[in-house]
Amino acid sequence: MQSLPKLLEGVPVTLLLTFVAISAGFAIGLLLALGRVYGKKVISYSCIVYLEIFRGTPLLVQLFIIYYGLPAVGIIFSPITAALIGLSLNSGAYQAEYLRGSIQAIPSSQMIAGRTLGMTRFQSIRTIILPQALRISIPAWSNELIYLLKYTSIVVYIQVRDLTFQAKDIAAQSSRYLETFLVVALIYLLFTFIFSEIVDRVEKHVRIPGIGLSQTIVKRNA
- The residues of the shown chain that bind other proteins, judged by CB under 8 A, are 109-110, 112-120, 123, 127-128, 131-132, 135, 208-211
Please tell me the distance from the alpha carbon of residue 31 to that of residue 160, in angstroms, as a whole number. 29
Identity of the residue, 102 or 180, whose beta carbon is nearer to other proteins in the bound complex:
102
Identity of the residue, 76 or 105, whose beta carbon is nearer to other proteins in the bound complex:
105
Identity of the residue, 44 or 120, whose beta carbon is nearer to other proteins in the bound complex:
120
39: which DSSP letter? S
Helix (H, G, I), strand (E, B) or coil at 40: coil
Identity of the residue, 19 or 122, whose beta carbon is nearer to other proteins in the bound complex:
122
Helix (H, G, I), strand (E, B) or coil at 105: helix
Tell me the closest approach of the beta carbon of residue 138 to other proteins, in angstroms.
13
Please tell me the distance from the alpha carbon of residue 156 to that of residue 165, in angstroms, as a whole number. 5
* CB-count exposure of residue 181 (10 Å: 0-12, 13-18, 19+): middle
Contact 21, 80 (CB under 8 A): no
Tell me the closest approach of the beta carbon of residue 32 to other proteins, in angstroms.
23
Please tell me the distance from the alpha carbon of residue 149 to that of residue 138, in angstroms, as a whole number. 17
Tell me the closest approach of the beta carbon of residue 204 to other proteins, in angstroms.
15
